[in-house]
Structures are given as C-alpha cells and as structure tokens.
Amino acid sequence: MTDRTTPEGNRTHDLIGIGLGPFNLSLAALTDGIPTTPGARPLTTAFYEQRPAFHWHPGLLIEGATLQVPFLADLTTLADPTSPWTFLNYLRTRDRLYPFYFAEQFHIHRAEYDAYCRWVSEQLPTIHFNHQVDAIRWNTQRSHFEVDYTRLGPDGEAEAPGRTHTRHIALGVGTAPFIPEPLRPLAEAPGIPVIHSADYLHHREELLRADHITVIGSGQSGAEIFLDLLRARPRGIEKIHWLARTQAFAPMEYSKLGLEHFTPDYTHYFHALPEHVRDTLVPQQWQLHKGIDTDTIAAIHDELYRRTLHGGWPDATLTPGVSVRTAGRLSGSGTRIELHLEHTQQNTRSRLTTDAVVLATGYRERPLDTLLTGIAPHIRRDTRGRPRIHTDFRLDLDPTLTGNIYVQNAERHTHGVGAPDLGLAAWRSATIINNITGTTPYPLPRRTAFTTFGLTPHDDPALPAPAPVPGQGSPPSPLTQGRTAGTGCP
C-alpha cells in the first residue's frame, strides 16, 4: 500500500499541489492517470496537506444543512462525467445509488459532501497528509521549482524536513475565517465566548448554556446558526439577537439566469474587464453568493411563527442595517460582553449586552506572500499590489521563470464571484490540466450560458472565431517548452 504521508522519491514532478480543499482535491482527481501527451507517461503529481485527513468545514456540518449547489458540482463531473471520482460513483461503491435515486435530492447534505471528498482523498495515492509546505523557490540551473516542506507527526509536531522538485505548482491553500477588527481582541482572548462560525459545532453546547446569544452576519452560515440555536432554545425565553450590516436578511440570487454568473462564460467576461470595473463589481454582487437560501429563510420564519401560536412573541430580535463599532468585556461581569452598535440608516447608536457571540462574518483568501517570498520579485502585480492572474489561472510571472504557478480560489479580483464556487471547480481544474499538458485531455465547452455578457458575444457565428483557449489546440507542451503564450492580464 502507498505510504500516504511521504512523497515518493526526489524526482521532479510535473505538478505539486499545496493545500487540499475541494479545489486541489478536484485537480488531484482529474490528474489521476492523465498522460503528459497522448500515448506518453502519466503526469507525475503530488499534493501536500498539513492536516492529518480531509475535513470540509467540520464546524458547520449542522444536521440537515445542504450544499447550495447541485450534486453535479462534485470534484469531476462537469469536466468528466465518466471519472471514477464522481459523486455518483461514490454512491455506487456504498450501495446507495437507489436510495439516492428515490430521495430525489438535487442538493445533497453538507456532511455527505464532506464524506464523499474524504473518500476520494483516501483513494488517491498522490495525496500526502501531515506535510506542511514552508517555502517555494525557483532553481535557475535546473529550471524548476524547489518546494521545502516539514513532515508532521500525529499531534502536529515537526518530525523531519524535506524538499521536492516540480515544474509547476497549484496553490489551493483556501480561505481563513474573517474576524472584524472591533471584535478581534475578544475573539483572541482566552475564556471569552466570541467564536467564528467556522468553529460553531465545536462550541455549540457551551453556547446553548449562555443566557443570551448574539449572532452577527447575514449570510447562509449566520442564518443556519440562528435557526439551529432558535430551535434548541425554550419557547418564550429564547434570548437571541441576530445582527447584520446588510440592509435586509436577503435571499440569495438563485434564478436560473442569475446563476449564469457562475459559468465559464461570465468568468471570461469578468477577467477581460478593466481592473477598476472588476473592483467595483465584486462588492455589488454580494447577493449572488452572500445571501440566504430561500428555504432557510422560510424555515426561520416558520419557527418564529410557531412560537406565537399560544400567544406572545419569541424573545428573538432580528436587526439588519447594524454595524458593531466597538466591543469589550463588561466591567465586573466576568465574561459578559458589551457591543456598541450603530444603525446606518437611522444614524443612531445603542449598546447590547450579551453572554456569547457567534461571528458569521465569512472568510477571506489566505495571503500568498509568505509562501511565495522566495519568488516575490518575479510576481507581477496590479495597481493595488495584488498578483495579476491570467485567464487560465496562472500567476503572471517574470518570463525568466519557465514554470507556472496556478491558483485555486485566490483569484476573485481577476475572475469574479465564481472563484470560490464549487460548480466551477472541475472546469478550473480541467483548464489547468489542459494548460500544463498543452493538449486537451478535457475538452472544454465553447459556450456555457444563454446570457451574452458584453457586446462581443464569443459564440456568434457572424463574428470571427474566438481566440484559442490556452491549453487547447496544439501549442508546444509547457512540460518541455516552458510557459505557454496564454492570454495576458489586462
């Protein structure tokens, strides 16, 4: 059996993946057995993850919570439905295809998606857990990247350093919980019950023992946590506040045409826009990905209504349009917390005393600078100092580096709201693989939306044929020729 914790030998790989969330796991699944060129040897790959096993948002696997995308947005289906790593094949190996068929569930349980991804991660021999990548450097003499890592023990302690070599790298280090600055000191203080939603289930029992609970954040996680707490509190003495900066507890845009913002067509359109236009668009599109599922909104209202059936109103306060100015421990009260609030429309201020706070304040892309210190001078940046990223997900690097660094879910500023969406995972992985091999092991669709974004429709027969997508057609393979021409950054 393959040693799942130690990379195989010191050979130069074609691709090293750093981090193992769903996106790099998709890349690992789709590179499984793929040849470098037709009839040639398979790609040599390795994926390093510092955790001991795959887990997907374990603190948010609330009972009954489902994905907000259909099950077809698994690791491989939208690039290769015949892959052995599809969700349907996972069900087949578990003798669960018929139960799933009769369940008629298009949106699967979040816990089931987590189990599916873990099953894939346990089968692929190219995945190496307990490996923390420390640094990346470019070796000019050998024209490849050097990746330094530390092999970790069962308890996360450093066991041994190591180094491996690769022609290309895929960064999939994911996102980190975002804690607003006014609440950061309390969240970092020991013994103060201010937690991020990422850790909700780990602290749920402790939170339920609190006399009063405040949930901050108007997205799906905030809604699910508010509903879960509400259902667990006694009728009439719920003692819950739900606060949000947005002007309403708004539903997520889930119309069929609205969902076309999560297609490759829109991604290409967005990437071609000027930088300042992209930066303006992203915050305006918050309801495409930060709203609340309509079923969850309905369940919250139903639960609140149920608690009025015998008279009275639930002791639950839902207030949008509110920001937290400052926060601190209430003097002489142990761990009680005082939140200083401001209502943006009323221009009024108030105070709220609470015993526990759940921050459903979302996630931010992990900074890449620390990991990429060794090649920082070679990274080209935009006017705000962010890495410029080609349409095929390559960092824009100095031409002296003939290898590529691809990013997964670190490109919202260049590729738009679809960057963190699971529905684009397989397409992005296929794009990267096609670019690495210089061939088309995964033919990509020319058109994916009924909406034509912009005034230059790319698939109108009356217009000139579109420019070749990097990695499609027959350019020289970057495995032997260095970086492909590709589409530059605007």
How confident is the model over 381-427, as pLDDT tens digits?
999 999 999 999 999 999 999 999 999 999 999 999 999 999 999 99
Q: Higher pLDDT residue, 331 or 426? A: 426
pLDDT band of 485, cuts 50, 70, 90 = very low
Contact criterion met (CB below 8 Å) for 16 and 147: yes
pLDDT confidence of residue 8 = 52
- pLDDT surpassing 60 at residue 302: yes
How confident is the model over 347-384, as pLDDT tens digits?
999 999 999 999 999 999 998 888 999 999 999 999 99
Average the pLDDT over each of 37-41, 103-107, 179-183, 415-419 and give the range with the smallest value: 37-41
Q: How far apart are CA 391 and CA 393, in angstroms?
A: 5
How confident is the model over 2-49, as pLDDT tens digits?
344 455 556 899 999 999 999 999 999 999 989 877 778 899 999 999
Residues 6+ apart with CB under 8 A from 337: 186, 192, 193, 194, 214, 327, 328, 329, 330, 353, 354, 355, 356, 357
- pLDDT surpassing 70 at residue 279: yes
Q: How far apart are CA 420 and CA 58, in angstroms?
A: 18
Contact criterion met (CB below 8 Å) for 239 and 347: no
Q: Higher pLDDT residue, 197 or 33? A: 197
Please report, rounded to a whole number, the percentage of residues in the chain having pLDDT higher than 90.
Answer: 84
- pLDDT surpassing 70 at residue 179: yes
- pLDDT surpassing 70 at residue 458: no
Beta strands 404-407 and 158-171 are parallel
* Cα dihedral 372/378/380/381 (nearest 10): 40
pLDDT confidence of residue 477 = 43
Contact criterion met (CB below 8 Å) for 230 and 393: no
Q: How far apart are CA 380 and CA 398, in angstroms?
A: 7
pLDDT confidence of residue 474 = 38
- pLDDT surpassing 80 at residue 481: no
Tokens of 62: 């609330």
pLDDT confidence of residue 404 = 98
pLDDT band of 462, cuts 50, 70, 90 = very low
Q: What is the average pLDDT across 248-275? A: 96
Q: How far apart are CA 165 and CA 147, in angstroms?
A: 6
Biggest alpha carbon–alpha carbon distance for the chain: 79
pLDDT confidence of residue 461 = 40
Average the pLDDT over each of 29-38, 42-51, 202-211, 441-450 and give the range with the smallest value: 29-38
How confident is the model over 116-171, as pLDDT tens digits?
999 999 999 999 999 999 999 999 999 999 999 999 998 889 999 999 999 999 99
End-to-end CA distance of the chain: 48
pLDDT band of 270, cuts 50, 70, 90 = very high
pLDDT confidence of residue 10 = 67
Residues 6+ apart with CB under 8 A from 285: 261, 416, 417
* Average pLDDT across the chain, whole number: 90
